[in-house]
Each structure stands twice: as structure tokens, then as C-alpha cells.
Amino acid sequence: MPVLLPVAGISINLLWLVGVGGIVGFLSGMFGVGTGQMVIDRYDVNYAEHFNRYAVGSTALGSELSGAPQTPCFDGSAGLFGVTTTAADGGASIQVVDYNLATGNTTPIVGSPWQSAVTNAAGSALVK
């Protein structure tokens, strides 16, 4: 069934248009485009850091992410890259980790890349 697109001055098959729209929607969902989800970094009155899910347009924060890394940035698929700090003998042990948003599992990527004593990280960015 042809449909006229007056601005373009052409007519196309309606089934083709619906099919292409479905494929674009599927691929967008697969890569997380337009999901309307965010992770909010906040501090409580004792300055403890917390990360919460947030659905864009919602009036309330969602569930807290347990074990989310410090200085997180989106890894491009289903998680966050960041830094975890664990108390060690006379200092801290730091790892760069990948945090899976769906499961809450943390996978170490590399041990401490720092050559000196460090207590925490101040920021991160995913550069492509």
C-alpha cells in the first residue's frame, strides 16, 4: 500500500516504512539509545556517596546501586567503568572495575594503575 510523502515528493510502501521503523527501534534498544535511564551520584548528610537509578521524567529516585564504583562512566553497553577502593595495610588498594548495571556484579579490569599512595579517584571519562 503506497503512502505519499508530500515534502519529499515521493510515495513509499507502508509495510516497508513500518519494517524500517521496527528495525531502527530494535537496534536502538539493543544499544541503549533513548532508554531514558540515568545514574545519579549523590551524597547524604554524612558525605557518604550513593548512586541511584533514575528514570527520566520520574519525580523520585529509583533503587540504590549496591557496590557501584567511584567516578563511574558509562561503558557503552550495559555497565559502568569506575574505581573501587578497599582498605589495605596502612593505605588503600585501588582497582579499575567494570560494574554490570543489570546484575550488580563488579569485574576487575586492572589493579591499581597508580605508582604512589592514593585514597580515592577524582574523576573518569570514557574516550572513544
Percentage of the chain modeled with pLDDT above 90: 1
Q: Is residue 73 part of a domain?
A: no
Q: Is residue 89 part of a domain?
A: no
Q: How far apart are CA 117 and CA 114, in angstroms?
A: 8
Residue 85's pLDDT band, with cuts at 50, 70 and 90, is confident
Question: pTM for this one?
Answer: 0.59
pLDDT in tens, 116-126: 666 666 666 65
pLDDT in tens, 11-20: 887 777 777 7
pLDDT in tens, 46-65: 988 888 888 878 888 889 98
Q: Which three cell numbers stand for residue 38?
A: 540515568
Q: Which of 33, 49, 43, 46 is nearest to 82 (CA)?
A: 49
Number of separate domains in the chain: 1
Q: Is residue 20 part of a domain?
A: yes
Q: Is residue 9 part of a domain?
A: yes
Q: How far apart are CA 97 and CA 94, in angstroms?
A: 9
Q: Is residue 84 part of a domain?
A: no
